[in-house]
Amino acid sequence: MPDGKHWRVSAGVGIIWRSWDSESVVYESFSGDIHSFDMVTGAVLKLLVQHTQDETTLVNSISRTLEIEPDHSLSLFVKQSLVRLSGLGLVECDK
C-alpha cells in the first residue's frame, strides 16, 4: 500500500460532526453541505482533521481505533473512503 501519497483535509474546509455507533453525520461549513458516513469513512475524516497521513498510517490507526484487523479488506475500504471524501472536496492528496 505505501505509495508516497499523503492525505489531508482540503484547505478551507470546516467540519462539524456528530457520531453514533455505526455512522457519522458531517456538516461542512464552507459549502453548507451535510454528509452521512459509515464508521470507517468517518474515522478516516476524523484522523485527517488531526493531521496529514498516508494510507498505511490511516489503516493502522483505524484498525486500532475500531479494534478490527488491518487486513486487505480494511485497506480497500480506506482507499474507497479516501476516493469518496476526495470527490466531495473534503480531503485532498499531497503527492
Q: How far apart (Å, rounded) are the C-alpha atoms in residues 79 and 1?
A: 10
**How many domains is the chain built from?**
1
pLDDT tier at 92, thresholds 50, 70, 90: very high
Q: Tell me, what's the pLDDT at 95?
A: 67
What would the pLDDT profile of 53-91 be if each residue is shown by its tens digit? 999 999 999 999 989 999 999 999 999 999 999 999 999
C-alpha cell recorded at residue 47: 484522523
Query: pTM for the full model?
Result: 0.89
pLDDT reported for residue 20: 83
Classify residue 44: in a domain, yes or no: yes
Write out pLDDT tens, residues 4-32.
Answer: 789 999 988 999 989 888 889 999 988 89
Report the C-alpha gap between 69 and 89 in whole angstroms: 29
- For residue 46, being part of any structural domain is answered with yes
Q: Which domain holds residue 55?
A: 6-89
The answer to whether residue 77 sits within a structural domain is: yes
Reported in sequence order, the residue ranges of 1-95 that DSSP labels E, i.e. its strands, are 6-9, 15-19, 23-28, 33-38, 53-54, 91-94
**What is the per-residue pLDDT for 3?**
62
Strand order in the sheet with 15-19: 15-19, 23-28, 33-38
63 belongs to a structural domain: yes
Residue 11 in domain: yes
Read off the pLDDT band of 1 (50, 70, 90). very low
pLDDT of residue 22: 84
